[in-house]
Structure 1
Amino acid sequence: MWHVVAAGFLFFPGLYQLCIRCARRALPGWLEADYSLLSSRIVSSIHGVIAAVSGITVITSCKDVKYDRHWLATAYLWLIIPYMVYDTYAMYLRHWYKCKDSKVLNGKDHFSSAMNSLLRKEFLMLVHHISILTILVPIGLFIRGDIGDFYIGCLLVAELSTPFVSLGKILIQMNLQNSLLHKVNGAFVLLTFFACRILLFPFMYHAYGKQFGIPLYKVPFNIPLHCNITIATIMAPQIYWFTLICRKAIRLYSNSASIKDR
């Protein structure tokens, strides 16, 4: 599968550079940080679509949730490696451009300023990326053995919300936060995030219980403890992010209602 890793290291940075070139032509006058931010969000959206389609394919192909196999489950775990490495560097690059464009370095070089900004503003996302690379990917590739492709597919489907989240940020970046498209997209963000990142985990328990004839509430007591711990660890940040999304949605639709009442 090393060819998948190599292809990923070519595809994601190449797509990022292509988006930057197109953005420079379509939106002259923007700062480099804006081009970088827009391009990284487009790449994230494309990755989210590819991951979700792959996950749905795996889920629908695996009738036995424990033992059925599908080659996409393993292949995409290899592809996640270059994507996470690329996305981590893209996050750093955005902050590097931002420091350079603002010319506020406080006596520090670009690297130090960009790293401080990255760690301060995107610490949780960095932890998320590092955890996937150092814990989830090794478990999925080398420890789980020949079981659990169905659940790998479920985790890939979680990326279905990413294109809507990215589109919302792009619309804000282009000063379209008051547009109808932004409000409709906000509803899709809530729906897809809740369905694919919150309800996903009860669905995984339900699928296991349905196959083995175990009631949903008893499933956690009939699977290994480390499985419950892994699911809880993955689910915790999703709940936190969903809370943030709900707060933003309340502000968005509250502001819209107040404007209509005037």
Structure 2
Amino acid sequence: MWRTLALASALFPGLFAFCIRLLRWAAPGWSLKDRILLSGRLVSTVQATMATVSGIIVVLNCKDVVHDRHWLAVEYIWVLVPYMTYDIYVMYLCHWHKSRDKGIAEKKHSLASIRSFLLQERLMVTHHLFILIVLTPITQHFRGELGDFFVGCIFTAELSTPFVSLGKILMQLKMQDTLLHKVNGILILVTFFLCRILLFPFMYAAYARQAGIPVYLVPFRIPMHCNIANASLIAPQLYWFRLICRKAAQLYGSSPAHKSR
């Protein structure tokens, strides 16, 4: 636990700092804000890939979805804790630089800039804090030695993140009108829907198959806090999926003539 926490606490900020330094050499004309934005997205992609691979390994190795154990289901949580903490800080840093460029934020960090960040990114911050404050104790202590399979399923929800990050990177590079951006948009829709929306029915169906009961009875057979946790996780995913669909409709629905106006 402590070794994993220490390594992860050094890995993500260190990789973030390395990317900023590398971009200063590779793209000397870029502003600090641009380097911070791109570096944050690259680190997010790295973490999402690690989480997805860990989740797939856990899911494939837990045949009994209730009782089978895998060390990654426990250990990777201690990677997520420092990452989520780091990511909140990077989100604030990105928000502050964007606001300063628009002339909204002050030249120095202040309580006002923190308050502005918390208001604008309240859903994402709440999501991160929920993972840190609620899900971490549940997955590490309250569930006992049960449900590594379901923890692995939650890890695989990160599959869509690299595509989301790539989409933002392409927009940052002014490549939003390219075929790559459109193909990536389709991949965002598919992976987000599969791994952040259908993931929850899949978990309930897996338990139903294990217990030999109809799927509709699962919510009444599992502990109430599991249903509450799942509802708390899927609610923001549905909201974000609606936003993604809206952006996709704008991307694919507008004609070239309309875009050129």
TM normalised by structure 2 equals: 0.94
* Mapped contact 2:56–2:152 kept (Cα < 8 A): yes
| Alpha-carbon distance, 1:259 to partner | 5.5
Please identify, of 174-183 and 21-30, the stretch whose mean Cα deviation from structure 2 is larger.
Answer: 21-30
* Mapped contact 1:70–1:149 kept (Cα < 8 A): yes
- Describe the superposition over 1:121-141 as per-residue Cα deviations: whole angstroms up to 9, x where unpaired: 211111111111000011111
Distance in 2 (alpha carbons) for counterparts of 1:115 and 1:34: 20
Written as runs of structure 1 = structure 2, the 5 A alignment for 1:33-182 is: 33-101=33-101, 104-105=104-105, 109-182=108-181
| Alpha-carbon distance, 1:113 to partner | 4.4
Corresponding residue pairs, total: 261
| Alpha-carbon distance, 1:96 to partner | 3.1
| Alpha-carbon distance, 1:104 to partner | 4.5
Please identify, of 246-255 and 112-121, the stretch whose mean Cα deviation from structure 2 is larger.
Answer: 112-121
Distance in 1 (alpha carbons) for counterparts of 2:25 and 2:57: 37
* Counterpart for residue 229 of structure 1: 228
Aligned residue type for 1:42:
L
Please identify, of 120-129 and 184-193, the stretch whose mean Cα deviation from structure 2 is larger.
Answer: 120-129
Distance in 1 (alpha carbons) for counterparts of 2:102 and 2:31: 10
Distance 1:32 1:117, change over 3 A: farther
Distance 1:132 1:80, change over 3 A: same
* Counterpart for residue 17 of structure 1: 17
* Mapped contact 1:96–1:113 kept (Cα < 8 A): no
Aligned residue type for 1:172:
M
* Counterpart for residue 254 of structure 1: 253
- Describe the superposition over 1:105-131 as per-residue Cα deviations: whole angstroms up to 9, x where unpaired: 46x842234313312321111111111
* Counterpart for residue 216 of structure 2: 217
Note the residue ranges of structure 2 that are not aligned, 5 or more in a row: none
RMSD: 1.9
User: Identity over aligned residues, as a percent?
Assistant: 56
* Mapped contact 1:99–1:113 kept (Cα < 8 A): no
SS in 2 for 1:110: coil
- Describe the superposition over 1:118-174 as per-residue Cα deviations: whole angstroms up to 9, x where unpaired: 123211111111111000011111111101100000000000000000100111111
Distance in 2 (alpha carbons) for counterparts of 1:71 and 1:185: 33
Distance in 1 (alpha carbons) for counterparts of 2:143 and 2:64: 16
| Alpha-carbon distance, 1:28 to partner | 2.1
Aligned residue type for 1:128:
H
Please identify, of 189-198 and 223-232, the stretch whose mean Cα deviation from structure 2 is larger.
Answer: 223-232
* Mapped contact 1:58–1:70 kept (Cα < 8 A): yes
* Counterpart for residue 243 of structure 2: 244
SS in 2 for 1:67: coil
Distance in 2 (alpha carbons) for counterparts of 1:171 and 1:116: 29
Aligned residue type for 1:67:
H
Note the residue ranges of structure 1 that are not aligned, 5 or more in a row: none
- Describe the superposition over 1:205-257 as per-residue Cα deviations: whole angstroms up to 9, x where unpaired: 00000111111122222222222111111110100000000000000001256
Please identify, of 93-102 and 241-250, the stretch whose mean Cα deviation from structure 2 is larger.
Answer: 93-102
Please identify, of 116-125 and 14-23, the stretch whose mean Cα deviation from structure 2 is larger.
Answer: 116-125
* Mapped contact 2:20–2:39 kept (Cα < 8 A): yes
| Alpha-carbon distance, 1:103 to partner | 5.3
Distance in 2 (alpha carbons) for counterparts of 1:175 and 1:209: 47
